[in-house]
Amino acid sequence: MIVTISRVYGAGAQAVSRALAQSLGYRLVDDELPVVAASLLGTSADVVQTMAERPRGFGERVLEQLGGGVPEAAQLPADDPQPGELRRAIEDAVREEATSGDAVIVGRMASVILADRPGVLRAFIHAPLAWRIAHVVESLHVGEAEARDEIGRIDEARRTYAREGYRVTWGDPRNYDLVLDSSRFGVAGSAAVIAAAVHAAGG
């Protein structure tokens, strides 16, 4: 079975995913996806990671719809892949990882990319903003204002990517099989809840 983990930033989803993969004996697919996508594109994993998380400007979105280039040339070198190419490479990477069997795939819109595939359980992990801020402050050793700004920036980038790339509402419970609050269950408890759902679904 494939478990996809979608999440808000700062909810501890990476730790939950690691614990889940370990408890199920599944592969954890997280940092590998930019590497696979980069290989398909002939570029570096750092470029894929940066582009995937960088909110696009209005002009860039308009030109992409018109089939043009990227106006923010100062931000992206000319030989970097275009957003559409990047999205397709990530989709191919997600599907390639899914064909290898039991896995926990973190982020990258895998819940949408694999929506029509049998044997997929889609989970979304969230937590209250105050809890997330405290978690980021503790994890990254930054101030509360910086943590709040980073949460807002990454959440908005993910929301925009889902809407513009896939026409879905990021975080809408209707798009997932399981939605849970990691602040209530903790890392081990959240992993246990998802594992129970996997077993109930036949995994």
Tokens describing residue 51: 């582009």
The 10 Å Cβ neighbour count of residue 93 is 26
171 token code pair: 């975080």
Give buried/exposed letters for 54-67 (b at 16+ CB in 10 A, else e): bebeeebeebbeee
SS3 label, residue 69: coil
- Which residue range forms the structural domain that includes residue 175? 2-200
Q: Can you list the residues of the chain whose pLDDT is less than 70?
A: 31-85
CATH number where 40 lies? 3.40.50.300
Q: Which residues contact 139 (CB under 8 A, 6 or more apart)?
A: none
Our count of domains for the chain comes to 1
Please name which of 19, 10, 54, 51 lies closest in space to residue 34, comparing C-alpha atoms: 51
pLDDT at res. 50: 46
pLDDT at 133: 94
The predicted structure's pLDDT at residue 76? 38
pLDDT reported for residue 47: 46
